[in-house]
């Protein structure tokens, strides 16, 4: 149903469409809380992706037999002293490494995203901001 209070315009093929209006705006401020939220969500997605890539890489290398061959090579080179190195190739250690790496990635990307918003707000005071053009079609 159409709204009786809003007039509708119908264009025939003979009429041309209205000209697009162009607007130039300056981005002079980035809200710190918004930058924190966006950077933390992006960092969460990247951290989950990194964790899954590490885990799936280990599963693939283990299924192909690379992990077993590597354990054999380390055992041949280091003998009985290679047990500590071989223990690093276990699934538990790889999952722990992926989780710690993902957490470090999450914290650092969130802090860098927030810090970049603060730095942009300081730089804007000197330069006047970033000019962005928009078109209404």
As given in the structure block, the two tokens for residue 123 are: 């730089």
Please report whether residue 22 resides in a domain. no
Q: Give the model's pLDDT for residue 122.
A: 94
Please report whether residue 13 resides in a domain. no
| Mean local confidence (pLDDT), 72-88 | 75
Please report whether residue 24 resides in a domain. no
Q: Is the pLDDT of residue 14 over 60?
A: no
Please report whether residue 94 resides in a domain. yes
Mean pLDDT for the chain?
A: 85
Please report whether residue 112 resides in a domain. yes
Please report whether residue 41 resides in a domain. yes
With beta carbons less than 8 A apart as the criterion, state whether 130 and 27 touch.
yes
Domain coverage including residue 114: 34-130
With beta carbons less than 8 A apart as the criterion, state whether 106 and 73 touch.
no
Read off the pLDDT of residues 21-72 as tens digits, 9 standing for 90 and up.
888 888 889 999 999 999 999 999 999 999 999 999 999 998 998 888 887 8
Residues 87, 95, 90: CA angle, nearest 5 degrees: 20
With beta carbons less than 8 A apart as the criterion, state whether 21 and 135 touch.
yes
SS3 27: strand
Tokens 């951290």 sit on residue = 47
CA distances from 80 to 94, 105, 132 (A): 22, 35, 65
Domain count, the chain: 1
Q: Is the pLDDT of residue 13 over 80?
A: no
Please report whether residue 25 resides in a domain. no
Q: Give the model's pLDDT for residue 69.
A: 84
Q: Is the pLDDT of residue 124 over 70?
A: yes
Share of the chain above pLDDT 70, in %: 84
């Amino acid at each position: 149903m159409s709204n009786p209070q809003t007039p509708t315009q119908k264009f025939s093929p003979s009429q041309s469409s209205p000209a697009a209006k162009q607007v130039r705006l300056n981005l002079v401020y980035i809200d710190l809380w918004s930058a924190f939220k966006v950077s933390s969500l992006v960092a969460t997605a990247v951290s989950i992706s990194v964790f899954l890539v590490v885990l799936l890489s280990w599963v693939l290398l283990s299924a192909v037999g690379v992990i077993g061959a590597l354990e054999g090579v380390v055992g041949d080179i280091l003998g009985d002293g290679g047990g500590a190195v071989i223990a690093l190739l276990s699934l538990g250690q790889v999952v722990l490494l992926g989780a710690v790496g993902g957490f470090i990635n999450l914290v650092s990307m969130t802090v860098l995203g927030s810090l970049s918003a603060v730095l942009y707000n300081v730089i804007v005071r000197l330069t006047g901001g970033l000019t962005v053009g928009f078109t209404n079609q």
